[in-house]
Amino acid sequence: MADDLTRPADTLTMSLFHSALRRDLERARILLESPGTLSPRRIRRLGRHLLWLMGNLRWHHEGEDHYLWPLLLERDPGSSAVLDAMKSEHDTLDEPLLRLESRARGLIAGRIGPSEVLTALDALDKPLMKHLAHEEGEGMAIVSRVLSHQEWNEFEQRAWIDGFTAAQSVRFLAWMADGVEWREPIRRRTGLSAPLYWSVVRPLSFIARVPGPSVWAGTPAARVKSQVASA
């Protein structure tokens, strides 16, 4: 859109990503806390999903560290304390994140059980939730103050989207749309056309209930929604 050059960055996509991450960690917890209800096939599938999720989280962090924080520092050197905190929070998350990834591999290979994955999830959960909230508050406030929406789009493209294949992009977008309640203010901010919304995005919001594409289908985890702030 033409006014993207002048309007402040709208960081809805950051909220969508963070909310999808929170949603799936909550869903994973539900399954891991009731291992007796899970088939061996579902357990392996959960391990594969967690592995994919942690890979995406590292991709996300590295994109922010490499492209976003330096750009914001250049525009607003006075924000260095917040930007240093963002980077150091990512560094602190590395260890629990890699441990959960390793446990997810163990789950897939049948070397360990769900309770050991749950321990690793517990260790990651608290510092990650704290970081996401901090970034959505102070971090994104800087973004909206110093970047135009066009610059935000260009950052996302360079940091994250350009490295994806078409198939990876489709999987990622379906994952982000899963469980989102597209209230009108959120829908408007996406800029989605009505046909695209009704034919693609809205049906994807219910994908967790569909056996086949979803590891959560048929479990209580499928009812967990993506809580996206509409402010």
Kindly state the smallest distance separating residue 219's Cβ from Fe ion, in Å: 27
DSSP string, 79-137: GHHHHHHHHHHHHHHHHHHHHHHHHHHHHHHTSS-HHHHHHHHHHHHHHHHHHHHHIII
Give 37 or 88: the residue with its C-beta nearer to Fe ion.
Answer: 88
Binding pattern to Fe ion, positions 6-45, x when CB under 5 A? ----------------------------------------
Retrieve residue 153's tokens: 């789009």
Only one of the segments 22-30, 58-66, 70-78, 218-226 lies at the binding site for Fe ion (rule: CB under 5 A); that segment is 58-66
Tell the residue number behind the tokens 């070397």, with chain if given: 111
Give 146 or 210: the residue with its C-beta nearer to Fe ion.
Answer: 146
Only one of the segments 24-32, 61-69, 144-152, 190-198 lies at the binding site for Fe ion (rule: CB under 5 A); that segment is 61-69
Give 56 or 214: the residue with its C-beta nearer to Fe ion.
Answer: 56
Distance CA 184, CA 205 (A): 15
Q: How many other C-beta atoms lie within 10 A of the C-beta of residue 223?
A: 12
Helices (H), ranges, 7-68: 12-32, 40-63
Kindly state the smallest distance separating residue 199's Cβ from Fe ion, in Å: 29
Give 64 or 101: the residue with its C-beta nearer to Fe ion.
Answer: 64
Kindly state the smallest distance separating residue 18's Cβ from Fe ion, in Å: 6
Question: Considering only residues 10, 24, 101, 135, which one is a binding residue for Fe ion as defined by CB under 5 A?
Answer: 135
Closest CA to 23 of 219, 209, 227, 200: 227
Give 101 or 135: the residue with its C-beta nearer to Fe ion.
Answer: 135
Taking CB atoms, the residue at the shortest distance from Fe ion is: 135
Distance CA 117, CA 45 (A): 13
Closest CA to 64 of 49, 85, 46: 85
Q: Does 156 bind Fe ion (CB under 5 A)?
A: no
Only one of the segments 130-138, 152-160, 180-188, 191-199 lies at the binding site for Fe ion (rule: CB under 5 A); that segment is 130-138
**Under the rule (CB under 5 A), what is the footprint of Fe ion?**
64, 135
